[in-house]
Amino acid sequence: MPCIVNRRAQFSASHRYWLPELSEAENIEKFGAGSRFPGHGHNYVLFISLAGELDEYGMVLNLSDVKHVIKQEVTNQLDFSYLNDAWAEFQQTLPTTENIARIIWQRLAPHLPLVRVQLFEHPELWADYMGNAMEAYLTISTHFSAAHRLAHPNLSNEENTEIYGKCARPHGHGHNYHLEVTVKGKIDPRTGMIIDLGALNQVVEDYVVEPFDHTFLNKDIPYFAEVVPTAENIALYISNLLRSPIEELGAKLYKVKLIESPNNSCEIYCTESESTSASTAVNQPTLARV
């Protein structure tokens, strides 16, 4: 029976975003604070996903062996290192989160049946790499607080209460929304980046966090005057807002995940064929409710 197992590891390391062919001013303009000497550090968390058939002992692989391989090929070499000098690959392509994940894949692929390498630089930034040449995924997370009322404008209070229950109460209720935005792109062979991270963060701030934070969505966001602001519709609207600005930065919006509460979240996956119109239902959300 096919199965995927995951192994967690971690290492602490520092790095610097600096290209010697650029001047100091050019490096600062391109990489901002990341260019500062002598660099900065992170507590990296690594997840290795492996696929295979269950053997007679109920295992895909012996995880003790997997642990040994990861330590020997990756963490023992990177822990407490300066990444720019730790591996020769980082002389050619800078050790960004997405490029570190790519090179880790290359180091482990001869030894393990990989399906994904996921690397967290910190809890609000991580990369996924699946072995597809220079293609990678980068995710940033943020949050905003807002109130909403679930009530269709064409239905009576009684009808809305029957559909939405307590969520249809006239004065609404609020959430601390957690938002994850995942982009997909090609790793630049020199900078190691699929997108300008500072620019991506600013797009999400400008298009979502600033206009949505501390609002009553039904009243303060015109789109939701006629559209019920369920978690699914909010995520769908956010995906439409972000798609074009992210494309202008050279990447593709891949996924928007909105966590409304610990028990309620949804994900919108975006494809190239979808419309960028905010009023068009471009995808069916994958909804998780507990």
Q: In the predicted model, what is the mean pLDDT of residues 34-52? A: 97
Whole-number pLDDT of residue 2: 82
Give me the catalytic one of 167, 178, 205, 274: 167
- C-alpha distances (whole Å) from 2 to each of 5, 50, 51, 53, 113 are 10, 11, 7, 5, 12
User: Residue 26 is encoded by which pair of tokens?
Assistant: 């050019």
Domains of the chain (ranges; CATH) run: 1-131 (3.30.479.10), 133-290 (3.30.479.10)
Asked if 151 and 160 touch (Cβ cutoff 8 Å), the reply is: yes
What is the phi/psi pair of residue 175, to 5°? -140, 155
Confidence of residue 272 (pLDDT cuts 50, 70, 90): low
For the question of residue 3 being annotated catalytic, the response is no
Give me the catalytic one of 260, 266, 267, 270: 260
Asked if 181 and 253 touch (Cβ cutoff 8 Å), the reply is: yes
- C-alpha distances (whole Å) from 33 to each of 53, 193, 277 are 46, 15, 36
Is residue 275 over pLDDT 50? no
Q: Which residues of 153-162 are buried (b: 16+ CB within 10 A; e: fewer)?
A: eeeeeeebbe
For the question of residue 167 being annotated catalytic, the response is yes
Summary mean pLDDT of the chain: 93
The pLDDT tens digits for 49-74 are 999 999 888 898 999 999 999 999 99
Whole-number pLDDT of residue 184: 98
Give me the catalytic one of 124, 214, 226, 248: 214
pTM of the predicted model as reported, rounded to 2 decimal places:
0.91
3-class secondary structure, 130: coil
